[in-house]
Amino acid sequence: MIKGIGLGNWLMQEGYMFKFKLARSPKQIEALFARLVGEEAATRFWERYRDSYIAEDDIRLIARAGFNTIRVPLHYALFMAGDEPARFEGSGYRLLDRLIGWCRDAGLKVIIDLHAAPGGQTGVNHDDGPGFPLVFYVPKYREQTVQLWRHLAERYHDEAAVLGYDLLNEPISPYLDTDYLNARLEPLYREIVGAIRAVDPDHPVFLAGAQWSSNFTVFGRPFAPNMAYTYHEFWSSTRRDAIQKYIDFSNRYDVPVFLGESGELNDAWNQAFRSLHERVGIGWSFWTYKNQDSTSSVVSIVPPPGWETIVAAADTPPERWSDATLPSRAAAQATLEAYLEAIKLRHATIRGSYLVSLGLTPPPE
């Protein structure tokens, strides 16, 4: 039984976890910070951010609490450089290797999740694309996605701490041409799985449904062995009818299904929805481990003094950025420095009731 937690906002930033309403995607957030403190200082900030947001003490806490799995979202740009042909290089490899090593030592498994594919797979901010899932439209992006997965599978094919590969996070939002796009999801999965199996015959692959990982009608009979299917459900009923369609799919084809993301409501809902899945034998991974000023995460970051000025800048349209509308460079730099301290576990708040709602053990006071 998978009992997992997602490492949101680490290798794939999402604006709402900074409390931003307008700057939502990684590109928008990075452009904002570069404007506030300059390109060089912003680059150094992100290097330190990724080194600090998830550290070894975070992994030890996750293991002590009783989780057995971590789902780690990736942004392709940390693992690929160039365009045609792409080079498989970037700071992401060091960080992911380090994480896997910590998890191996702690007895945790890792699900590698491609949260932002080349060109985007969802069509909204959290795939960092242009607003359309271009991986389904542009052959270059499709090929890059397939080759990235082949490269990752080749790198980790004999790594026992890796549980499996979650191929595309929440593909195809419901706001787009779903009739055209839905028919193209399983064929893309076939290509990716074929590339993975050429170098890694053993690790399971997880196939997410369309429309926020909720629509399994896009799938036919499983086309390969050793596959699982993953869905995301937030704020739904906690009765069995909320997940019956996934149970039916699992029974029809004798394949495992997995709740890949859920939560972000309250402890009572978490407890009821988690218990429902355990009663029917479905593993889960809640979202997310660390968030800012949150009661629905394992760890809550306390925003530093001055953070409201960063939020105000993020919520100002870029065409209105000026010395009059933004904090001074020195003030912004000081606030971002303070934020780099605030994200460390020793300065954050551990939400014991959240862990209890997941049937886990909060650390001693």
* Cis peptide upstream of residue 85 (ω within 30 degrees of 0): yes
Residue 133 has pLDDT above 80, yes or no: yes
Q: Cα–Cα distance between 44 and 151 in angstroms, integer? A: 27
Range scoring the smallest mean pLDDT among 78-92, 145-159, 223-237: 78-92
User: pLDDT tens digits, residue range 275-307?
Assistant: 999 999 999 999 999 999 999 999 999 999 999
> For residue 176, what is the domain's CATH number?
3.20.20.80
pLDDT value for 4: 98
What is the mean pLDDT of the segment spanning 315-321?
A: 97
User: pLDDT tens digits, residue range 18-67?
Assistant: 999 999 999 999 999 999 999 999 999 999 999 999 999 999 999 999 99
Q: Cα–Cα distance between 93 and 11 in angstroms, integer? A: 11
User: Tokens at residue 43, please?
Assistant: 């680059």
Read off the amino acid at residue 93. Y
Q: Cα–Cα distance between 349 and 311 in angstroms, integer? A: 21
Cβ–Cβ < 8 Å for 281, 275: no
Res. 86 pLDDT band, cuts 50 70 90 = confident
For 302-312, letters b (16+ CB in 10 Å) and e give: ebbeebebbbe
Q: Which domain holds residue 110?
A: 3-357
pLDDT value for 298: 98
Cβ–Cβ < 8 Å for 362, 355: yes
Q: Cα–Cα distance between 328 and 37 in angstroms, integer? A: 9
Residue 98 has pLDDT above 80, yes or no: yes
Burial class, 16, CB count within 10 angstroms (exposed 0-12 / middle 13-18 / buried 19+): middle
Read off the amino acid at residue 63. A
Residue 130 domain flag: yes
pLDDT value for 82: 80
Instruction: Provide the number of structural domains found in the chain.
Output: 1
Residue 83 has pLDDT above 80, yes or no: no
Burial class, 225, CB count within 10 angstroms (exposed 0-12 / middle 13-18 / buried 19+): exposed
pLDDT value for 364: 85
Strands across the sheet containing 349-350: 290-292, 299-301, 349-350
Residue 58 domain flag: yes
pLDDT value for 233: 97
What is the mean pLDDT of the segment spanning 125-129?
A: 94
Residue 266 has pLDDT above 90, yes or no: yes
Residue 335 domain flag: yes
Q: DSSP 3-state assignment of 303?
A: coil
Long-range contacts of 19-25 (CB under 8 A, 24+ apart): 19/292, 19/293, 19/303, 19/307, 19/311, 20/311, 20/314, 20/315, 21/314, 21/315, 22/314, 22/315, 22/316, 22/317, 23/314, 23/315, 24/125, 24/126, 25/125, 25/126, 25/128
Residue 364 domain flag: no
281: how many CB neighbours lie within 10 A of its CB? 11
Cβ–Cβ < 8 Å for 143, 192: no
Residue 363 domain flag: no
Q: Cα–Cα distance between 37 and 205 in angstroms, integer? A: 41
Strands 299-301 and 109-116, bridge-based pairing:
unpaired
Res. 365 pLDDT band, cuts 50 70 90 = low
pLDDT value for 306: 97
pLDDT value for 84: 76
Residue 362 domain flag: no
pLDDT value for 309: 98
Q: Cα–Cα distance between 169 and 62 in angstroms, integer? A: 22
Q: Cα–Cα distance between 165 and 152 in angstroms, integer? A: 9
User: Tokens at residue 307, please?
Assistant: 């953070």
Residue 365 domain flag: no
**Counts for the chain of helices (H) and strands (E), in that order:** 13, 11
